[in-house]
Structures are given as structure tokens and as C-alpha cells.
Amino acid sequence: MLPLFLQLLADAEKRVPTTLPCLKSLDLHDIDFSSDIMVSCAIELICGSPNLETLYIRATHDYEVLPPALSSSDVDFSKMGQLQLQSVMLVRISGLKNEECLIKSLLSGSPLLEKMEILAHLFQHVGVDNGKLMFATKLLELHRASPESSGLSYMPLKEKTDFEVIPLPVCDARPKKINPRFELFCMNVHVSHSSFKEGDLFGIVSVIDTDGVLSDKRLPLDENENGHVSYFYRDWYETIGIVNNAFVFFGNPSPRYSAPFGASVLEIYARLYATTVEKDKCFLICMDTFPIDLLTFWGNRRDYKRATLIFEGENGSIDFDYIMLRDAIDTAMELSFDSPDDPLLEASVVGHIFAYYDGVLDNLDDFKQHCYKAILFQAKAGSIVKVGPVPLEKSVLAVPANGILVIEALFLDAKTREIILDMKSKLHPKPNGSSKCLMPWKNCFFNLTVEWSQDENENGHVSYFYRDWYEAIGIVNNAFVFFGNPSPRYSAPFGASVLEIYARLYATTVEKDKCFLICMDTFPIDLLTFWGNRRDYKRATLIFEGENGSIDFDYIMLRDAIDTAMELSFDSPDDPLLEASVVGHIFAYYDGVLDNLDDFKQHCYKAILFQAKAGSIVKVGPVPLDKSVLAVPANGILVIEALFLDAKTREIILDMKSKLHPKPNGSSKCLMSWKNCIFNLTVEWSQGPKSSYT
């Protein structure tokens, strides 16, 4: 946010700086549109920022009724030429001539504009409904820079206030209501120096985050204040071994979410080094930024683009294979290994599980097809697969919205080299649903679960509870239901004005002879008040009341947060086959946020990471979590609380609390030990999506 004293500027009749070339986001508050001098100063700022992409203006009114309408304005709006604006929000707009002229100039001079939101303040003497109609009619008549611009969509804001939201979708070549995604699959590394046959690779490969949607804070902002989404990040002390002309397949990006992209350009940044085995020579293969033209992609109206980008340097070259999807559904995947006959089975296998898009690779030879496949799991020589969860090398992948995801598995017996599993399975997208892919052989099988989530450009949903009639959960009256991971598995960000919670919940009797609709409605949470209070968090209970009952939702909003992804394992150094029969839980919550609450209410604001109920058996190895992602206050502390009893004796065997301070883009360990065994919780910290409102 830029601190501006426009009132002082207006009084002194001074001009603003001639140019602000690095300014990307501009927030102007308390602008009096009845003052030509103040509006002129605002115009100077906008025109003097040639690379401005985001504009927020909040108007102010020192009057109870609308001033007399003027047929013209003394402000020179003609100086506003071609702008680079992509997003505009105007708040407390009342229909003054200067406001209308500003909107007209912004629309006609911003060919890249994707969204304009107007929160209108309508004066009672005009008549609210009549005022809406008059103002909306004027806006409909305004010219847009894009020839494909869609019309005005009018949507009231569900708040007890006289504000209205009027979104003005302004189209560029990119259509609306789609989810574009960029997938980087692999790179082919060639070192041209004759002395390099094999060695180690380290460095960075990232996509420049021009939209500010996701960012890996391990990497600094560039000169235009753009962040990075990392696909490969290895420091000199954590190199990977390669041979010359090796293929390196990418795992999950950081943060763990397939990268979206915008309207004009996408940039790939690469800085890669190779060293010899003896570490006596180090070669800089590439250090540069390379653009991918998106305007051509959007103009071609194709569903995808499959291409190879070649980076050539003095000491070698890097070939990157990528696919851009026009409209995609995001997936999050989990793999497990099971054997109904032998719960302690350990299989020695060699092989892999690939994922790729059906039909997209048809005209390629087998070698090139391999470059556009994602390696979900790979068992190399000497690998042992145990019953239970199996860690994936890549667990997030965007899939064409109208396409098909192919899962391909090939495994050999490590000793006999006999093929024991060779299969392909095709999965059709199920927006906000899930799919199962079973890969059986002999008396065991791999089970791949694919969670599908659609993140729409306009009003999509982030699901916290999704159960159909055939997968209901058992409850008693006045029960507490704790939420697991949202879908997608990423804590939900929010914007400037309003956040809405939608609930449609039913309850049935045990006999299934009666069904009660508890709630079906959408409820707004006022964000303007939250941002205005300048508090670090808001803790509240939202009550939904219906004809047949009520639902109380306990939530916390964080002004600035760091996202976490957690993994839990159980280990016993003395007994690798140990099975523990325990009852208990692992909670996570924010230190200091719950201090003034009683024990009962504190419980409502804790996340249940893991719960072992009566009859549960914990085995050595990875332990599935009920909730594995959680946002944490950027300046706060995450508390991990564990309590476990011996299931037979009911003796307390573990009772502890541990406090973890955020480590942006680092990791923390929380060890919870008793007797001869340990729970090991790993917390990966990643700085989440940026917001221009903080």
C-alpha cells in the first residue's frame, strides 16, 4: 500500500511525481470525487504509473445527500492513455460525474483489464432501487477497450448496508470462468564440457509469479516485484546426481498447487549449475529468464499447448517440456499399499506409476511421450513397499477440464524381474468429487485416491465438508464435527469485501425413515470491517438457524498467515514391526488466540490432526492425518498438543505440548516420545498467496 496525503496535495495544488515505473499496486483512500483538484491528483498518479496492474480507490462523502448533478467535469481525463490495469476496485461510488468519467476512462484505456468491481453508495433521496437502475444504465453504455467485452452483471452484496456490488467483467482474449494451469514435467540437462560425464546438479527452476497468486518466498522478488513458483530448488549442499543428457522429472511445485497464469506473458527463470563427481569443476549451465507468449495461446483458442523450451548457455543447455491447459481441474492424490491377507506384507519391487493426459500425446514417439508424463511414484532397485500410506513424488496435478487422466503402472518383482503389474486406468474428472484407481497383483494392491477440485475464476467453492447421501457420517444430537482438509488442500485466502459461507446440510434418523433439512443458505462475513479494524485475527462463531435446527460454525480469520503442510510418522528404533494399541489425539492451535475462552470453547478452535479411537492400531511408518494443512499467524506460534492412553490399561502414556515458531519456507520437527516409540510430526512452512489488501 502506498501512503498518500492527497488532501494535502489538493490543498497545496502540487503535482505528483512524473513517473513511477515500478509501481504495480496503488491504493487511494478518502478520495472526494466532488473535488476536481483531488481527482486531478489521483489521475496524475495513475497516468504516472505505466506498469500499474491493480487499482483500489475508496471514495469519501462529507455530505448526507448527493450534490447537484454536473453536466461536465473540469478534470482532464483525456490524458489517461493506454494502461496496463488488470484489476480495479472502486468503493463507495455514488454516481458523481467525475466518478462516471473515471470509470469510462479506465474501461476505454485498459485492454488487459480482467475485472472491475464497484461498491456503490446510493443516497436515499434518489431512491435506492431507482439509483441502482440509473447508475447501472450509465455503466452499460460505456465503451470497453476489448471488442469482446461482456455486459454488465449486477449482483447485490448480502449485507445489512446500503452498499451494492456491481462487477463489470471486461474480457481480453482470455475467456471467463476457466482455470488455466501450467504444468512443467521434466528437463533434459546437457553439459557441453568434454570433462563432464556424470556429477551433481543444483540450482533453481521457477515460474515468474506475475499475477501474485502463489509465491515461494525462498526466492527474492524481481525488479517488478514479481514472486516465483519453484519447480526445482536445490542448494549446493543438497545436489542430485545426474549423468550427462539426463532427464530430471519435477515433483510438486512450491507451494503445492499447479501454477495458474494470466493474459499476456508467462516467464520461466532458470539458474542451474553442474559439478563433476570430484567437485573440482563447476559449470553454470543457465542463468536467465525466458518468456512464453500467452496472447498467442489465448488467441488460438486451443485447449492446450504442448511444447519444449530450450535454454542454451555457454556450458550446455536445458530442455524443458511443459503443457499449458486452457481450462483445468486441480487434483490432489494419495497412494496406499494394502494386502487383505497379510497386514505386515513387505514387497520388494521395481517400477513406477505415471500420470498423463489421454489424447494429448498421441502423435509423439514413445521417447517424447515419456517427457510429458508425471512420475507419481517410483520404486528403484532395493526399494521395499510396506502396507500403509506410500509417499508420492508428485501428488498435485492439473487435468484438462474436458479431458481424461490416465494412470499407468508397471512393476517387476525385484528378484525374479518378472512383470507382476502392467495396467492403465482412465479417470474422468469429477469436479469436487473423488476417484479411486486400484492396481492389484497377487494378494496385494496399490490404491490411488484422486481428489478433484475446481477453482473457478469468479465465484467458486472451497469445500470443507462434502458428503453425499450414501457416505453419511454418524452423529448424535448437538454433536461437534471437526473439519479436515479443505478441497483443494490449501487454506482458503480471502479478498477485500465479502466472504460467503454456503451450507446445505441434512440429518437422517438411524432407521433412515426421516430426513431433516437443517440448513440451505449462503451467509456473508463482512471483510471490510475486519480490514478496517487492523487486527491480526478475528475469532468468531457464525450461527445458521433453520426450520429443523441450527449449525454453529467456529472460525478464525488471519490477516497475515504462513501456510503449513504436515506429515506424521510412527517409529520404534528397537522394534520396526511394532504395533501400538492407543487411544488419543494430536491437536494444533494458535498460541495466545484462545486465552480468554473456557476449556469447552477453546476445544472448538483446535484442529484435530490425528485421532486414535478405541480399537485403533498404530503401525511403524507413515500415519495418515485427519487434517494436514493449516494456516498459522505469520507472527504467531503453532501449538501441538498430544494426549494418548494405553488402550488396554487406560494409563496415560503421552501428555505433552510443543510450540513451533514459523520458519517461512523451512521445516520444523515435533517429536512425541514414550517408552520405546515416537510420533514424528514434520511441519513444512510455505508463505501463501499474496494479498494487496494487507
Which of 492, 463, 490 shows the shortest CA–CA distance to 629?
A: 490
- In sequence order, what DSSP letters do the residues of 646-667 get, joined into one string? ETTT--EEEEEEEEE---TT-E
C-alpha cell recorded at residue 272? 542451474
Calculate helix-pair angle for 36-47, 97-108, nearest 10 degrees: 10
Distance CA 394, CA 392 (A): 5
Residue 93 and residue 56 in contact, taking contact as beta carbons nearer than 8 Å: no
Question: In whole angstroms, what is the distance from residue 409 CA to residue 282 CA?
Answer: 37
User: pLDDT tens digits for 292-327?
Assistant: 877 778 777 788 999 999 888 889 999 999 999 988
CB 444 within 8 A of CB 346: no
pLDDT of residue 62: 55
| Residue whose C-alpha is closest to residue 432's, from 486, 387, 479, 472 | 486
Q: Say which residues have a Cβ less than 8 Å from residue 431's Cβ, sequence separation at least 6.
A: 329, 452, 453, 454
The number of residues making up the chain comes to 694
Nearest CA-CA partner of 555 in 546, 566, 543: 543
Beta-strand relationship, 328-338 and 346-357: unpaired
What CA–CA distance (Å, rounded) separates 594 from 636?
12
- Quick one: three-class SS letters along 662-688? CCCCCEEEEEEEECCEEEEEEEEEEEC
Tell me how far apart the alpha carbons of residues 43 and 78 are, in angstroms, rounded to a whole number: 10
559/493 Cα distance (integer angstroms): 10
d(CA 669, CA 676): 18
Q: What is the pLDDT of residue 519?
A: 85
Distances (CA, A) of 245 to 188, 331, 683: 6, 31, 35
Q: How, if at all, do strands 617-619 and 667-674 pair?
A: unpaired
Q: How far apart are CA 352 and CA 367, in angstroms?
A: 16
- Tell me how far apart the alpha carbons of residues 74 and 36 are, in angstroms, rounded to a whole number: 6
- Please name which of 519, 453, 507 lies closest in space to residue 485, comparing C-alpha atoms: 453
Q: How far apart are CA 246 and CA 22, in angstroms?
A: 40
Residues in CB range of 542: below 8 A, 6 or more apart: 501, 523, 525, 552, 553, 555
Q: How far apart are CA 554 and CA 27, in angstroms?
A: 32
Cell of 268: 520461466
CA distance 251 to 233: 11
Rounded to the nearest 5°, which phi and psi values hold at 629? -125, 140
Through-space distance between the first and last CA atoms of the chain, rounded to whole angstroms:
8
Whole-number pLDDT of residue 4:
43
Cell numbers standing for residue 274: 553442474
Among 633, 591, 584, CA closest to 609: 584
* Cα(418)–Cα(411) distance, integer angstroms: 9
Instruction: Give the residue carrying C-alpha cell 494502461.
Output: 83
User: Pairing relation of β-strands 537-546 and 549-558?
Assistant: antiparallel
Q: What phi, psi does 20 have (nearest 5°)?
A: -130, 80
Exposure letters 498-532 (e unless 16+ CB within 10 A, then b): bbeeebebeeeeeeeeeeeebbeeeeebbbbebbe
CA separation for the pair 257, 331 (Å, rounded): 9
Sign for the CA dihedral angle at 683, 686, 690, 694 comes to: positive
The number of beta carbons lying within 10 Å of the beta carbon of residue 153 is 12
pLDDT at 249: 94
| Residues of the chain below pLDDT 50 | 1-17, 64-66, 69-71, 123-133, 137, 146-176, 212-213, 455-459, 688-694
Neighbours of 438 (CB within 10 A): 11
- Distance CA(680)–CA(640), nearest Å, equals 12
Kindly list the structural domains of the chain, giving each domain's residue range(s) and its CATH number in brackets, ordered by start: 6-169 (3.80.10), 181-326 (2.60.40), 330-428 (no CATH)
User: Using CA atoms, how far apart are residues 372 and 307, in angstroms rounded to an integer?
Assistant: 9
pLDDT tens digits for 589-632? 999 999 888 888 889 999 999 998 887 888 888 888 889 889 99
Q: Which has the closest alpha carbon to 482: 464, 500, 469, 499?
A: 464
- 243-287 residue pLDDT tens: 998 899 999 887 777 888 776 667 888 999 999 998 889 999 988
